[in-house]
């Protein structure tokens, strides 16, 4: 099986601060990879390098075997094959929910307005938000906004969904509805890479957990192993802090 997304020896520094020191990661089709690691360990930077929002200093990122970090590659065309959702402020505030979801399919992918609209409404229906299609984002709860952001990312039929701590900015009672949607999307076969602090969720939904530490993937494997019986002392140390914080 060849990887949908492969990160090979990626190095990324901001000035003197070398954040990624040679990160390797392979994500096979229909698989869910959870990226864990302390704050500042480079999870966001890695996802931003993978989605070409940052330029890597060394190494490669391959999407379906194509080196997308090659400077000759059309970055906009590559981004159209990716679905990206961040921690917050994902939706365009001046567009209705429906227009948020149909914008890229129509403007970027050239789908007809009616087809995009139909598909968007079906997606919104599925997450119980069809009745909000005419609302502006600020009329939705944070959880509803993030669910719309996920649906918007899916509307372009991406090869892989990159999720960067998408529940971190939410009130605790809204986290569940967003994670339920991610789980559904995973069960339908979407390939997903998600940076998360939700260890319980990673345990249930991820096929692989990668622990990022000091600029490398220090340990990766099935969630039961990495989260339940880590090999590396630093993984153990990280997890014990998470347990102390009541998150595992
Ligand atoms: N645009 C940037 N400019 C300068 N430093 C950055 C930038 N983005 C991230 N960093 C630094 O990179 C390190 C890793 O950050 P980040 O990838 O956000 O970690 P994480 O998502 O794991 O918390 C931090 O030290 C952060 O300050
Ligand atoms: Mg981050």
| Cα 166 to ligand 2 centre (Å) | 10
Report pLDDT for 1: 61
| Pocket lining: 19 vs ligand 1, CB cutoff 6 Å | yes
pLDDT of residue 245: 74
Alpha carbon of 197 to ligand 2 centroid (Å): 10
Q: What is the pLDDT of residue 247?
A: 65
pTM for this entry:
0.95
In terms of residues, how long is the chain? 248
pLDDT of residue 176: 93
Write down the pLDDT at residue 107: 87
The pLDDT of residue 242 is 85
d(CA 138, ligand 1 centre) in Å: 28
pLDDT in tens, the chain (248 residues): 679 999 999 999 999 999 999 999 999 999 999 999 999 999 999 999 999 999 999 999 999 999 999 999 999 999 999 999 999 888 999 999 999 999 998 888 888 999 999 999 999 998 999 999 999 999 999 999 999 999 999 998 999 999 999 999 999 999 999 999 999 999 999 999 999 999 999 999 999 999 999 999 999 999 999 999 999 999 999 999 887 777 66
pLDDT at residue number 163? 97
CA distances from 59 to 37, 41, 103 (A): 21, 18, 33
Percent of the chain with pLDDT over 70: 98
Residue given tokens 């997903």 in the structure block: 192
Can you tell me which residue has the tokens 């403007």? 107
Pocket test for ligand 1, best of 44, 51, 164, 213 (most atoms within 8 A of CB): 44
d(CA 236, CA 22): 22
- Residue 146: per-residue pLDDT: 95
Atom from ligand 1 closest to the CA of residue 46:
17
State the distance from the centre of ligand 1 to the C-alpha of 199, rounded, in angstroms.
21
- Count the neighbouring beta carbons within 10 Å of the beta carbon of residue 85: 23
Domain boundaries of the chain, sorted by first residue: 91-157
pLDDT score for 248: 63
Look up residue 8 and give its two tokens: 């090979």
CA 42 to ligand 1: nearest atom: 17
- State whether the beta carbon of 55 lies less than 6 angstroms from ligand 1: no
What confidence score (pLDDT) does residue 205 get? 94
Return the pLDDT at 68.
Answer: 97
What phi and psi, each to the nearest 5 degrees, are found at residue 235? -65, -45
- What span, in angstroms and rounded, lies between the C-alpha atoms of 222 and 207? 6
């Amino acid at each position: 099986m060849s990887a949908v997304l492969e990160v090979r020896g990626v190095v990324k520094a901001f000035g003197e601060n070398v954040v990624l020191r040679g990160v390797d990661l392979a994500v096979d089709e229909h698989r869910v990879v959870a990226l864990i690691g302390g704050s500042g360990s480079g999870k966001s930077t890695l996802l931003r390098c993978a989605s070409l929002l940052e330029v890597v200093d060394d190494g490669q990122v391959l999407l379906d075997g194509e080196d997308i970090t090659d400077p000759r590659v059309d970055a906009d065309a590559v981004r159209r094959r990716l679905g990206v959702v961040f921690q917050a402020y994902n939706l365009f505030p001046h567009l209705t929910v429906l227009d948020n979801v149909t914008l890229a399919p129509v403007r970027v992918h050239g789908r007809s307005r009616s087809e995009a609209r139909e598909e968007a409404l079906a997606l919104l229906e599925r997450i119980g938000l069809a009745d909000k299609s005419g609302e502006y984002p600020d009329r939705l709860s944070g959880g509803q906004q993030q669910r719309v952001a996920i649906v918007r990312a899916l509307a372009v039929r991406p090869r892989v969904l990159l999720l960067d701590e998408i529940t971190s900015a939410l009130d605790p009672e809204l986290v569940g509805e967003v994670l339920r949607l991610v789980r559904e999307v995973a069960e339908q076969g979407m390939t997903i890479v998600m940076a998360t602090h939700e260890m319980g969720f990673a345990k249930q939904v991820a096929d692989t957990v990668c622990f990022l530490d000091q600029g490398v993937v220090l340990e990766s494997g099935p969630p039961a192993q990495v989260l339940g019986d880590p090999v590396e002392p630093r993984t153990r140390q990280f997890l014990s802090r998470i347990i102390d914080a009541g998150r595992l």
